[in-house]
Chains A and B, each alone.
Chain A
Amino acid sequence: MVAVAGETAPRRVTRRRVLWVLLVVAAVGAYLGFRTAGAADSDDAAAFRFFTGVRNWVDDNRDTSPLFLYGVNYLRLGVRLLVDAVQAGLYGLGFAGLVAAAGAVALVLAGWRTALVAVGGFLAFGFLGLWAESVDTLVLTVSAVLLAVLTGVPIGVLAARVNWVSATLRPVLDVMQIMPTFAYLAPMTLLFLIGEPAAVIATLIYAVPATIRITELGLREVSPTSVEAATALGSTGRQLLTKVRLPMARPTIVLAVNQTIMMALSMVVITALIDAPGLGQNIIRALERVNVGVAFDAGLAIVIMAVVLDRITTGAARRRPATRGRSRWVVAGGALVAVVVVALLPIGQDLPRLSFAGPVNDLTGWIELHWYDATEWIKNVVSAGLLDPLESVLTSTPWWLFVLLVAAFGTLVSGVRSAAVAALAAAGIAGLGLWQHAMQTLATVLVTIVLTMAVGIVLGVWSARHDWFAAGLRPVLDAAQTMPSFVYLLPAVALFGASRFTAIMAGFVYAFPPVVRLVDRGLRDVPATVVEAAVSAGSTPRQLLWKVQLPMARGGLLLAANQGIVLVLAMVVLGGLVGAGALGYDVVAGFSQREDFGQGLAAGFAIVLLGILLDRLTQGFHHAKGPR
């Protein structure tokens, strides 16, 4: 089998190339022959009416249908109780108590440096005058993370041990992870109404795949030799789990909790759209008035919270088990006493206000005044040169032709099965009656991903080739990856106002850090011996890059493209909040106007389908190895 493939490989490559050329020619021909005027989407598609009907049925039966009486409503009640308990706990500590508690937790889990960061960070919430909002955000995050860890870790353990569980979960988790955050808010409100429970459950759905995946990975990575040695000594299955597998996977499981927290925080902020309290509310209100300064304060608070939570959990993951034992209990006990004492002290939260709203607004104004020509020029060039032509081609393509092309190109890139899923998703978008909007969103996504990949690859190559550059870039990328997605809208709005282009910029800023990372990783993973061999054969640095490193890092580059597309889609949709229009706007409108609910929900589904379409089309990238 292997030998056969080896013999015909060169012939296959040329056949593939011919196939590609033929397909592109056919696609262009078909487009020119069949293109349409691109009529606007109707406000009253069958799908919208259907979803409105569903909503009406739910509203009428919420208190009578057994599904709600015995299922959904209890779930809602249970989550409400959890949120109330966490809220009572955190508010009960009071300002000083909570600051001390944050410091104490950081001290016990991650050491005194992190404790200082935590105390400083929590104090900052007070100085920014965002104390109550910050605690609300923290309450929702903690509740969602508790649920995610309590459900996700056991499921992850099960998936690592039982192969069919893992195989069944994989496609479900895949879809959950490519679903843009925006898309499942509407279904949540349908089932759980607006408010905290819906927000916590939406956050849980968003964050739990990471918990499950990383936990499973951690358990699967446990050295088989250690497991074998423990088995050879006669361990029972339970002993293997509690004494070998879980302790050895502990650092990875803590990392899973870290990722869960970061994702949960990011989502909790977005759930402000379905009326969840907290910092997200401030940002949305400010964005609606294009008041970047006010949004900046809230954004800063979110970033501080993200940094503090990230430091505490990564610190906990790094901790050596050697520091266990009595001394640690002493520290924990002392910290607890200190927290109680501080909480009982009559310290109010009457702090001097420290707001950046004024200076930031001044800066934004200055930028608008002085950079207007430059930003406007960039905006216009990209819009007129890339976005508009692409959008008009996509919107004037008849949907059936698009589906056919997706199937054909998808088969070439990712194989028949992925192509079939992608084509079905494309057909589904057409069925939802949002074809034009979906194509507009797609055009924005494609332009953004091209920009992201171009910049990402250049920076990634630089960072892989120059250690000083990598060292300088690392903290920037670290910070970028801990920031919740909402925050990325702010600088984009500050520079480009509310427009389509703002979404492109936000998507670009959001997606390029992971792309740079993957490219850098891919290049650095090229084995040193191969590089050495190429250098000793007399390659110039340029030849080394083009003939050895880039071809060998192809898998990493394509993976970066796949990951980047999913991130970009999530962000571009979020751009609906700041004037990007299309599907994102439909979703937002669905939350705010009752009569648009059907269209909003349909748009949510269209976004999910678009995500599946893009992910499946680039799915083959994951398995790509070496040049084709």
Chain B
Amino acid sequence: MTSTITVEHLWKVFGPKPERVVGTELASLPRAELRERTGCLAAVRDVSFAVEAGEVFVVMGLSGSGKSTLVRCLTRLIEPTSGEISIDGEAVRAMNARRLRDLRRHRVAMVFQHFGLLPHRSVLDNVGYGLEIQGIGRAERHRRAGEMLTLVGLDGHENQYPEQLSGGMQQRVGLARALAIDPALLLFDEPFSALDPLIRRDMQTEVRRLHAEVGKTLVFITHDLAEALTLGDRIAVLRDGELVQVGTPEDLVGAPADDYVADFVRDVPRSDVLTLRWIMRDPLAGETCEDQPLPATTVIRDAVPRILRAKLPVQVVEGDRVVGVVDADRLLPALISHHRQVPA
């Protein structure tokens, strides 16, 4: 089972009388000026996006960009100031307390940066917490919690307490707890920021594997561009509460919407992210090409040996249709362009 989210014109303003900001001329003020005039902080400003079923949707931004607030607005852990949110077509902001609780109990689960485990409960009881508050009996919830621990690779740690586990293992418990209620939608709030780099990479692999295995819709918050590029089907870049760009990793690196995004992605090796589509040129009239064409979705780096070894340009195809050609002249700038300009 998968899930879709649509968010329209979402605002979250902190401070005294926040509702006066939205929809007035105050709304267009820059953050600092708004704070000076009203004492309010606009954490999320007029954000709209849609997440497809089964997609991994990454929200990326620096600290203070409003990304954690945004993800908390989705299940109203933070009450939005205005705007519409719907999950599977149901308006979240119209839900009463009981309906909202049902949503949180059965359909949406969240993984937190600082884990949020309960120190007085064993690992097994932490994972079973969501089932326990639904009123599921002890035997059944222990069975399911045990399965989840197996899924995240924590067999044998059932009776330990959170403080006895390392950070990475604690986050696996947090992940198992979220998976235990079998939600269609998983929200991750910077889940791996508190972990050291090697563990972080393991956990990213873990998330990709789980996504492939259980096929849920994932909304993933991060400040780490590399993480966003590895995990995201699509990435939304947030700055000062506003969406700057929403697109695939390719879109962001190949066609940044503004200087801010361009600055962000400057150090990304372009050849690792971009596909041939971004460097191909139109075929010249009567040009002879290599026999074997390359698909347009090939990442540049994977095509390097073929293109450099070829005597002739290589055709780029989408299905059977030829959409362009690449040769070494087109390839080389893409391979070196990510190097930072050294000031003279």
Contacts of B132 in A (CB 8 A): 243
A234 to B112, CA, bound (A): 15
A-B contact count (CB 8 A): 72
Residue A42 interfacial (CB < 8 Å): no
Question: Which residue of B106, B120, B129, B187 has the most chain A CB atoms within 10 A of its CB atom?
Answer: B120
Contacts of A226 in B (CB 8 A): 116-119
From residue 31 to 75 of chain B, which have CB atoms closer than 8 A to chain A?
Answer: 75
Contacts of A248 in B (CB 8 A): 118-120
Of the candidates A233, A247, A250, A320, the one whose C-beta lies within 8 Å of that of B181 is A233
A231 to B101, CA, bound (A): 8
B116: nearest chain-A partner, CB-CB:
A229
Of the candidates B75, B113, B117, the one whose C-beta lies within 8 Å of that of A232 is B75
The 0/1 profile, CB within 8 Å of A marked 1, for residues 126-144 of chain B is 0001101110000000000
Residue B104 interfacial (CB < 8 Å): yes
Contacts of B110 in A (CB 8 A): 229, 232
Q: How far is the CB of A118 from chain B (nearest CB, A)?
A: 26
The 0/1 profile, CB within 8 Å of A marked 1, for residues 168-193 of chain B is 00000010010001000001000000
Contacts of A247 in B (CB 8 A): 118, 120-121
A320 to B162, CA, bound (A): 13
Contacts of A229 in B (CB 8 A): 110, 112, 115-117, 174, 177
Say yes or no: B112 contacts A243, CB within 8 Å: no
Residue B161 interfacial (CB < 8 Å): yes
Residue B255 interfacial (CB < 8 Å): no
From residue 219 to 264 of chain A, which have CB atoms closer than 8 A to chain B?
Answer: 223, 225-236, 239, 243-244, 247-248, 250
B119: nearest chain-A partner, CB-CB:
A248
Q: Using A236-B133, A243-B129, A322-B161 as known contacts, say yes or no to A230 and B118 having CB atoms under 8 A apart.
A: yes
B132: nearest chain-A partner, CB-CB:
A243
Say yes or no: A225 contacts B133, CB within 8 Å: no
A248: nearest chain-B partner, CB-CB:
B120
Say yes or no: B115 contacts A231, CB within 8 Å: no
Residue B208 interfacial (CB < 8 Å): no
A236: nearest chain-B partner, CB-CB:
B101
Contacts of A234 in B (CB 8 A): 101-106, 130, 133-134
B163: nearest chain-A partner, CB-CB:
A320
Say yes or no: B116 contacts A243, CB within 8 Å: no
B36: nearest chain-A partner, CB-CB:
A1
Residue A29 interfacial (CB < 8 Å): no
Q: Which residues of B contact A (CB under 8 A)?
A: 75, 77, 101-106, 108-110, 112-121, 129-130, 132-134, 161, 174, 177, 181, 187
User: In the complex, given contacts A232-B77, A233-B177, A247-B118, what are 12 additional A-B residue pairs having Cβ atoms less than 8 angstroms apart?
Assistant: A225-B115, A227-B116, A229-B116, A229-B177, A231-B104, A232-B75, A232-B108, A232-B109, A234-B130, A248-B118, A248-B119, A322-B161
14 A-B contacts (beta carbon < 8 Å): A223-B114, A225-B115, A226-B119, A227-B116, A229-B115, A229-B174, A230-B129, A232-B77, A232-B110, A233-B109, A233-B129, A233-B181, A234-B134, A248-B120
- Name the 10 nearest CB pairs between A and B, nearest first: A229-B116, A234-B105, A234-B104, A225-B116, A233-B130, A232-B110, A247-B120, A234-B101, A225-B114, A226-B116
